[in-house]
Structure 1
Amino acid sequence: MHRQHTTHRQHTTHRQHTLIDSPYGPLTLVATDGTLSGLYMTEQRHRPPEETFGDRDAGPFGETISQLEAYFAGELTEFDLPMRLDGTPFQRTVWQQLQLIPYGETRTYGQLADALGKPNASRAVGLANGKNPIGVIVPCHRVIGAGGSLTGYGGGLDRKQRLLAFEGATPMSENALF
Structure 2
Amino acid sequence: MTAPVEIAHGKLRALHRFWESLRPAPDLLPGRQHFNAEDIWPWIGHIGMVDVERGGRPGVPFRFRIRLQGEHLARLTGNGRPSLYLDETLHTKYRDLILAQHSEAAATSMPVYRIQIDEAKSWKRIDRLVLPFASDGHSVDLLMTGLYMAVTPSRPCAPEGQ
Q: TM-score, normalised by structure 1?
A: 0.26
Give 1 or 2 for the bigger CA radius of gyration: 1
Question: In proportion to residue count, which structure has more strand?
Answer: 2
Q: TM-score, normalised by structure 2?
A: 0.27
